Structure 1
Amino acid sequence: MMPLEIAPKIYDVGVVDWAVRDFHGYKTERGASYNSYLIMDEKICLIDTVKAMFAEELLAKIERVVDPGKIDYVIVNHVEPDHAGALPALVKAAPNAKFFITAQGKAEAIRHYGDLYDFQVVKDGDKLSLGKRELTFVTLPMLHWPDSMATYCADDGILFSNDAFGQHYAAAKRFDDEVDLGILFYEAKKYFANILWPYAKLIDKALAKAAALDLKMIATAHGIIWRSHIQEIIAKYAAWGKGVSGSSVVIAYDTMWGATEQMARAVLEGVVSAGSDAVLLRMNETPNSTAVADLFEAGGMIIGSSTLNSGMLPTMGSLLVYLKGLNPTGKKAAVFGTYGWAGGAQKDMEALLTAAGFELEPGFTCKWKAQPEDLEAARQLGYEFARKLQK
């Protein structure tokens, strides 16, 4: 794709990664992008870079606008390799450039990429003049790394927000008013749930900084650029940061010979009969990140597994360990399943759910294949669980 002029003399020179389907455990079914922005002024400035494997494409795009050797400044909003992986290639192409970064970011960048750069450490509120334009640095520690920051250009009303407000979403069009809004907001929610959920309590502070700015555009480091729906995405971040717990239920399970699946369907019937919405996910076919996106605005999760070797099925262990890392406190959970001999899956699942911060409700298990009375108990489990969410 050619460089795109998103504002006068400001170009999107990043890369759309149509093929990527895994982002350290986050399944990116719609691909991703690594957004980088080139500002042409008296001083030429590049904001963020791309993954190392796309460094040549980044430089080729920059060359369509200017010789990379003429770049004066490079702003490193975040040192993670999907944002800064091209730094070693860039320092060779722009040997005279100064690199602006937080103190924490400098320490991290040296460990990642070596001490080859003219690093200029900045702090919150520091400014950088490009000539006609002035940039302001906005630190956002732990959203989602200690070094994270954003960069604001008041002259154009653009916040180069790095991970904040981003999505893993590959698209030929670059702006929010050019793509399917339903998909865009879903991918923004999925991104928040899988990347920023552990740090949600910090969102209010970040939004307070954003609210003080005159925003005409939010140029993210991943996905689509916001220009027509800025207030909507800010409102969603405000709600997500406070925690969203509705009355819907995620039922996630895996089964060996079908008995646990039969129970899962009975649980679903119970939830629906109580008047709540629900989604049924068999985890051998569902990415953990998709289950997390469904859980994010739900009231709780009902987990089911057959017992294998005195424990849960591996797919369920994977989901629960993934959830523990996100620490989804305030959600309710219950467990169901089947076993043949001594059992064990349900006990292990309840321990992991507790460790992840869920509020446990009574569950139900049965031996061997569920009988009619067992299926009725599973329906009742779903019904009572949903009713508690509605109170």
Structure 2
Amino acid sequence: MGRPVALGEGIYWVGAIDWNIRYFHGPAFSTPRGTTYNAYLIVDDKIALVDTVYGPFAGELIGNLKSLINPVRLDYLIINHTEIDHSGAFPAIMDLCPDALVLCTQRGLEGLKAYYGREFKYKVVKTGDVISLGRRSLKFIEAPMLHWPDSMFTYIPEEGLLLPNDAFGQHLATTARFDDEVDELLVMDEAAKYYANILFPFSHLITKKLEEIQKMGLVIKTIAPSHGIIWRQNPSRIIEAYARWAECRGKPKAIIAYDTMWGSTEKMAYALLEGLSEGGIEVKLFKISVSDRNEIIKELLEARAVFLGSPTINNDVLPAVSPLLDDLVGLRPKNKLGVAFGAYGWGGGAQKVIEERLKAAKIEVIEANLTVQWVPSPDDLKRCQNLGREIASRIGG
């Protein structure tokens, strides 16, 4: 159980730590390091709670609140995003302070009523709306599709504190609350995985939102998202990373992801690896059936090319390959090159399936005809090596 942690005078983290969760959004997103559900209490002349926690952790949130205030004193409950992992404790909190004013976007209001079917005092806010708590104020910034239509940010200008809900977050359970208390590479790795698997499709909107925030002249000293650690030492680090990821330009790097039945497709994968490596670029190789596909997508975030391989079974790809292809179609990573490869026995089909799915994902397909029957010959493997060198030259310039 997490205890309240002060971000500043009268401002507290009051959320919960989920040490045991291993999948998010059903089985779609692996969370081997757990997560946190972050909620923030601001105690001023008026008292506000920004976001709640996942329903099973409502007791922890209430315990944290009671250690600081009598919850009946809450004047405002701000719901930045209605997804259950953030709003699940909403009814339990409102039972303690039924006269509190609930602030959310119009889509947020629709979501709260649909989920919980209860009437409270609601106020819809829009970008630029401000409420005063006394010495501090709350300013609201709508952020639709980052990552739901209802999403918004809450900003405390007097503190330079941005509360952006799911933006800038990571799935990371830790007793530490701040970026300067955890390993930098670890937290950035989780932040990249979070962006790649949740925010990839909205990259153009993220670019626009970052530009909008810059034009608003917001001074951001601290970023307190709703999952993972709070960025207080160097919040510009994660802002700059988001700006870079949103450009979808990548770097001289390739991903090889494959599965194999009797080793033929695997031999092709290693030949491609050899050619790409000889071309002087970074390469990551994954056997899909024994890999976390969310990690594969994370590595694709800053890669320029993806090679996907599978032997043919029933005129299709191996079952382990299909979920990764489905993810790519949904995430639509931009500015990527794609190559399909694989072996077959008496009839092919997997390569065509992969190419069609890559095209549906808006990935530029290089039709290299890397399909072999039975076992790749030395010449086949040479073709793989040569193509690897060719792609390395193309993306490494």
> Shared fold by TM > 0.5?
yes
2: CA distance, partners of 1:13 / 1:304? 46
2:182 is matched with which residue? 179
For residues 312-331 of structure 1, the C-alpha deviation after alignment (integer angstroms, 9 at most, x for no partner) is 01111110111100111210
1:344 and 2:349 matched: yes
2: CA distance, partners of 1:321 / 1:215? 37
1:265 is matched with which residue? 270
1:375 and 2:381 matched: yes
- Post-superposition offset of 1:382: 1.7
- Preserved CA contact (<8 Å) 1:32 1:170: yes
2:284 is matched with which residue? 279
- Post-superposition offset of 1:355: 0.5
In structure 1, list runs of 5 or more residues that go unmatched. none
For residues 214-243 of structure 1, the C-alpha deviation after alignment (integer angstroms, 9 at most, x for no partner) is 222111111110111112221111112222
1: CA distance, partners of 2:208 / 2:315? 46
Segment of structure 1 superposing worse, 342-351 or 106-115: 106-115
Segment of structure 1 superposing worse, 62-71 or 346-355: 62-71
- Post-superposition offset of 1:200: 0.7
- Post-superposition offset of 1:23: 1.1
1:6 is matched with which residue? 7
SS of the residue corresponding to residue 247 of structure 1 reads: strand
1:385 is matched with which residue? 391
In structure 2, list runs of 5 or more residues that go unmatched. none
1:298 is matched with which residue? 303
Residues 1-391 of structure 1 mapped to structure 2, 5 A cutoff: 1-24=2-25, 25-211=28-214, 212-363=217-368, 364-391=370-397
- Post-superposition offset of 1:390: 2.0
For residues 349-390 of structure 1, the C-alpha deviation after alignment (integer angstroms, 9 at most, x for no partner) is 100000001111133011112222222222222222222212
SS of the residue corresponding to residue 224 of structure 2 reads: strand
Matched to 1:5, the amino acid is A
- Preserved CA contact (<8 Å) 1:103 1:147: yes
- Preserved CA contact (<8 Å) 2:10 2:44: yes
Give the superposed CA RMSD: 1.2
- Preserved CA contact (<8 Å) 1:270 1:378: yes
- Post-superposition offset of 1:62: 0.9
2: CA distance, partners of 1:366 / 1:385? 20
- Post-superposition offset of 1:46: 0.4
TM-score scaled to structure 2, two decimals? 0.96
SS of the residue corresponding to residue 307 of structure 1 reads: coil
- Preserved CA contact (<8 Å) 1:252 1:283: yes
Matched to 1:157, the amino acid is G
- Post-superposition offset of 1:258: 1.6
- Preserved CA contact (<8 Å) 2:99 2:120: no
Matched to 2:57, the amino acid is F
2: CA distance, partners of 1:265 / 1:205? 40
- Post-superposition offset of 1:341: 1.2
- Preserved CA contact (<8 Å) 2:200 2:331: yes
- Preserved CA contact (<8 Å) 1:244 1:296: no
- Post-superposition offset of 1:181: 0.6
Segment of structure 1 superposing worse, 85-94 or 376-385: 376-385
Structure 1 residue ranges (4+ consecutive) displaced by more than 3 angstroms after TM superposition: none
- Preserved CA contact (<8 Å) 2:248 2:333: no
2: CA distance, partners of 1:204 / 1:358? 20
Matched to 1:300, the amino acid is A
1: CA distance, partners of 2:287 / 2:257? 6
Give the % identical residues.
44
2: CA distance, partners of 1:315 / 1:93? 48
- Post-superposition offset of 1:36: 0.2
2: CA distance, partners of 1:121 / 1:302? 47
SS of the residue corresponding to residue 237 of structure 2 reads: helix
- Preserved CA contact (<8 Å) 1:308 1:345: yes
2: CA distance, partners of 1:166 / 1:207? 15
For residues 230-276 of structure 1, the C-alpha deviation after alignment (integer angstroms, 9 at most, x for no partner) is 12221111112222321110000011122211211111011101111
- Preserved CA contact (<8 Å) 1:361 1:385: no
SS of the residue corresponding to residue 308 of structure 1 reads: coil
- Preserved CA contact (<8 Å) 2:249 2:335: no
TM-score scaled to structure 1, two decimals? 0.97
Matched to 1:125, the amino acid is G
Matched to 1:370, the amino acid is P
2: CA distance, partners of 1:387 / 1:48? 48
2: CA distance, partners of 1:85 / 1:376? 56
1: CA distance, partners of 2:181 / 2:60? 24
- Preserved CA contact (<8 Å) 1:301 1:333: yes
- Post-superposition offset of 1:168: 1.2
